[in-house]
Amino acid sequence: SAVKFDFTAEILNLGGGYGVKYVESDPYIDIEANIAQVAEMVKSKCRELGIDVPAIRMEPGRSIVADAGLTLYTAGSVKVIPEYKNYVSIDGGMTDNPRFALYGSEYTVALANKMNEECDFNCSVVGRCCECGDIIQENVNLPSSVKRGDIVAVMTTGAYNYSMASNYNRIPRPPIVMLTKTGEYIAVKRESLEDIIKNDL
């Protein structure tokens, strides 16, 4: 098309973004090697067409912030259904992270207060909404001692979580707490019921 219309692009934006390692089985992504490979493909095609090589741009996307965030939930009831499935409920769910419900996205899940215990209890981590699809992750292995009040940590939630959150079931969005080398601060306040209904007439 560039030759046909006598047009040479000065900038070629290939979009994005780079992949993120959510679970152990996800492949490692060598960003620099991938960039070099893409750049060589563009240069090769430009040589073939006899046109100047444009400035190549790619959007890093979620790779900037995904692994900088994790979500902490408080465990609620633990349900064991023999010969079927085990459940661990949490005080959040698809309202603050709808990605499993939408895409079946995978996450690494752990009990933050029992990191040194053996993970021998296979379960589904489920939310508080009245929906059968309110699932954070299935086939999660947690310590069999998991009980109400434990802290469930879902890793790599720094991207596409808060931006996709909703107030479905009138559930307030959680806060965002930023950690620094010297302490912490609240970046986004926890919502209240008053925040949710303030525009109701």
Active site residues: 130
What are the tokens at 98? 């709808």
The burial of 1, by beta-carbon neighbours within 10 Å (0-12 exposed, 13-18 middle, 19 or more buried), is given as: exposed
What is the full DSSP assignment across the chain?
-TTTTT---SEEEEEE------STTSPP--HHHHHHHHHHHHHHHHHHHT-PPPEEEEE-GGGGTGGG--EEEEEEEEEEETTTEEEEEES--TTT--HHHHH-----EEEGGGTTS---EEEEEE-SSS-TT-EEEEEEEE-TT--TT-EEEE-S-SSSSGGG---GGGPPPPPEEEE-SS-EEEEEPPP-HHHHHTT--
